[in-house]
Structure 1
Amino acid sequence: MNSYRVLRNTVVTMLAASTMVGSMAIGRAEEMGQAEEAGQIGQVGQVGQAEAEQAGEIAEPALRAPTRTIHRAVWFTRTAPRIRPVVRAPKVRNKAIAFRLVARRSWSHDQFQCLDSLWTRESNWNHQAHNPSSGAYGIPQALPGSKMSDSGGDWRSNPITQIHWGLRYIKSRYGSPCGAWGHFRSSNWY
C-alpha cells in the first residue's frame, strides 16, 4: 500500500472519529441540559459533572449554529523523511574495487580503461555472471570458474577474490590489461 493511501485512510479514520466524538458530545450536552432542567444534575456525580461540563464546552458552538458543521479543519501530518542508505549497484562497486587494485599495481589510468572495456564485454562487472554454454564464471569469466579457488574459497560470491585472480591472470598471460584487451579485440577471447 503506498503512503498516499495510508495517509488518506488515516485522515478518513480521524474524521470519522472526530465526527463521532462531536456527535456524542452534542448528545451528552443535550442530555445534561435536559437533566439540568429536570433538576437531576446532582445525581450525575463528580465525574459525570466534569464530563457534562466538557461536553457543554464542545457542544456549545454547535448548538448555536442553525446548521451543524461536522468538520471544517484541514489535517496536516509531518513525517520524517525516509533516509535510504546509499546502495551502490554491484557494477559500480566492483569497478571501484578493481580501480583500487589496479592502482596498487602501479598501472596507469589507461590500463584501467582497458580493463574496464574487457570486463564490461565479458561479464558487465557482474560477480555472479555465468555462461551456461562454456561454464565461465565471475567478473573475469574464468573457465572453469573453480580456477579462482586458488585466490580464495569464496570465489563464487566475493568480487574482490575474482578481481585479484583476474588481475594475476592478466599479468601472467598478457602483461597488462591493455595487452589482454588487444588480444580480446583481435580474437574475441582472452
Structure 2
Amino acid sequence: MRSHTTFLPARRTLRRAERRLRRRPVLVVATLALGLVATAGFTTAAPASLAEASGQTPDFALASYSTPLVAQISGTDAQNDADSAVTAAAAAMTAASTVTSDITASGLDVGTPDTTVDTTQLSTAVEQLERAQALPQMYSADFEETVTSLTASVSEQTAGLRGKLDAAIALKAQQEAEEKARQEAEAAAAAQAAADAAAKQKKKSSGSSKSSSAAPAPSYAASGTSAGEAQATARSMIAGYGWGDDQFACLVSLWNKESGWRYNAANPSGAYGIPQALPGSKMGAYGSDWRTNPATQIAWGLGYISGRYGTPCGAWGHSQSVGWY
C-alpha cells in the first residue's frame, strides 16, 4: 500500500492533462490519457485501500483493461444530435443521386455539363462520426459539425441542380405549348381558307346555275314547226347570248344530228324534242308547252348549252368527240 503523499503529484498531473485533452484531437487525447494512467503507477486494478491511505475520496476514475477509459454517450442528447446528423446526411446523399437520375431520364439540357453532386467527403465524414460516437460528447461533436457542414453543401448543390432541371422542364412545356398553338393556328387558317374557297366556288356555281336557269325564255309563239322555222327562231334567240353566225352554224350542225330540228323527235332512251332533252320533262321549266312548241324547246336547249359547254361550238365539239352532248 502506497502513502497519500505518493499520489498527490499524480493527481495534479492527471488534472492538467485532462484540461489539455479537451483541446486536442480524439485519438491523441485517448493515447495521452492512457499514458498518464500508466505513469501514475496504476495497474489493471486499483488499490482496495486507497481511500483509507489518503483519508479522502479521489475525484478521478481509475482505468483497467476491462473498463473503458471514458463512458459511452449512447442515449444522451449528443447521441441524438449525432443520429440526426447521420439521418440528414443520408437524405442529402439520396436527393443528390435522385436529381442526377432525373436529369439523365429527362434528356434535357440543364445548362451545365456536370449533373452530379460529389458526396464522397460526406460519406466519409458520416463513417467517422459513427465510429466517434463511442467517445465523449466533446470529441464526437467535431465530427458531427463536419457532417452537418458537408450535408448543407451537398444539399445546396442538389437544390441548384433541381432548380435547373425544373427550369428546363418548364421551358420544354412552354415550347411544346407554343408549337401546339402554332399548329392549331395553321390548321384553323387552312380550314378557313378551304371554307372560303368552297363558299366562293359555291357562289360561282350558284351564279352559273342562276344564269343558266334564267336563260331567255320565248316571249313569242313559234312561227312554225318545220325545221326551217325552228332554225329561224333559234337564230333570233342566240343574239341574247352574244353569239354570232359561227356559233349558229355549230348549233345547226348539232341539232341536225340530234333531232333534225323536229320538235316531236322522240328517242327510246327518253330524250325528246329538238335539243333531245333527257328526260324531255326538263324543258317544262321553260314552258308547259314543251312537248309541242319548238320555241320552248330551243330556249331550254340554248340555256343548257350555255351552262354546260359555254357555246354551241363547244357543245358541237364534244358531240363530235364522244357522240353526245
Q: Does 2:232 align with 1:96?
A: yes
For structure 1, the residue ranges without an aligned partner over 5 or more in a row are 1-86
Alpha-carbon offset, residue 88 of structure 1: 6.7
For structure 2, the residue ranges without an aligned partner over 5 or more in a row are 1-222
- Map of 1:111 onto structure 2: 247
- Map of 1:120 onto structure 2: 256
- Please give the alpha-carbon distance, in whole angstroms, between the structure 1 residues aligned to 2:225 and 2:309: 29
Per-residue CA deviations over 1:166-189 (Å, capped at 9, x if unaligned) read 000000000000000000000000
- Pick from 292, 298, 318 the counterpart of residue 157 of structure 1: 292
| SS of alignment partner, residue 141 of structure 1 | coil
- Map of 1:184 onto structure 2: 319
CA RMSD of aligned residues (A): 1.4
Question: What amino acid sits opposite 2:317 in the alignment?
Answer: G
- Please give the alpha-carbon distance, in whole angstroms, between the structure 2 residues aligned to 1:148 and 1:114: 21
Q: Does 2:274 align with 1:143?
A: no
- Pick from 301, 310, 315 the counterpart of residue 166 of structure 1: 301
Aligned length: 103
Alpha-carbon offset, residue 103 of structure 1: 2.1
**Structure with max Cα Rg:** 2
- Please give the alpha-carbon distance, in whole angstroms, between the structure 2 residues aligned to 1:141 and 1:91: 14
Q: TM-score, normalised by structure 2?
A: 0.31
Q: TM-score, normalised by structure 1?
A: 0.52
Alpha-carbon offset, residue 127 of structure 1: 0.4
- Map of 1:53 onto structure 2: none
With CA pairs under 8 Å and 6+ residues apart, which has the higher RCO, 1 or 2? 1
CA contact (8 A) 2:305 2:311 kept: yes
Question: What amino acid sits opposite 1:105 in the alignment?
Answer: Y
| SS of alignment partner, residue 307 of structure 2 | helix
Alpha-carbon offset, residue 161 of structure 1: 0.4
| Percent identity of equivalent pairs | 58
- Please give the alpha-carbon distance, in whole angstroms, between the structure 1 residues aligned to 2:270 and 2:238: 26
Question: What amino acid sits opposite 1:167 in the alignment?
Answer: L
Q: CA, structure 1 residues 117+155, in 2 after alignment: closer, same or farther (shift >3 Å)?
A: same
Question: What amino acid sits opposite 1:123 in the alignment?
Answer: S
Per-residue CA deviations over 1:69-122 (Å, capped at 9, x if unaligned) read xxxxxxxxxxxxxxxxxx977000000000100123220100000000000000
Q: CA, structure 1 residues 103+131, in 2 after alignment: closer, same or farther (shift >3 Å)?
A: same
- Please give the alpha-carbon distance, in whole angstroms, between the structure 1 residues aligned to 2:225 and 2:233: 13
- Please give the alpha-carbon distance, in whole angstroms, between the structure 1 residues aligned to 2:225 and 2:293: 15
Deviation beyond 2 Å, 4+ runs, structure 1: none
